[in-house]
Structure 1
Amino acid sequence: MAPQEQTPNMLQLIQMNKSITETQSAIAAAQINMAETQGKIAETQSKMAETQNTIAATQQSMLATLGSPKPEKQ
């Protein structure tokens, strides 16, 4: 092939490589965002579990109060 025939192909390869690199960068950024979101979800789930434990403890306390003997009237 003559050099002038290679130039358009080389330019096309350079452009494709640039496009691939940009796509890879976008994917990497999306993965970082996903990891951050997963961290936030885990924090929220932990808080939800704490809240459920608090609710359960409150229910147990309420049941104990309802079940405790009432003082006798005089």
Structure 2
Amino acid sequence: MVLMTAIALNWGYQQMRNYIEPPQALLVLGGEPRREQFAAEFAHQHPELSVWVSSGSNREYAEWVFFPSGH
């Protein structure tokens, strides 16, 4: 019984830790313009995050969405 309690507490701790640790990057599944636009807006609000865009959109379009001013 003690072992099961310890396992349950450890599992609960691991689950809570996922909510406490700040994100390190933003992964965007490319190919859907609305999803990419949302991710670009989110990335501009959180410039400390790295942004990774999977394939799906061509490079020029992704750069236009994420860097509209050409930066």
Shared fold (TM-score, shorter chain, > 0.5) = no
Greater share of residues in strand: 2
Q: TM-score, normalised by structure 1?
A: 0.34
Structure whose CA Rg is larger: 1
Q: TM-score, normalised by structure 2?
A: 0.35
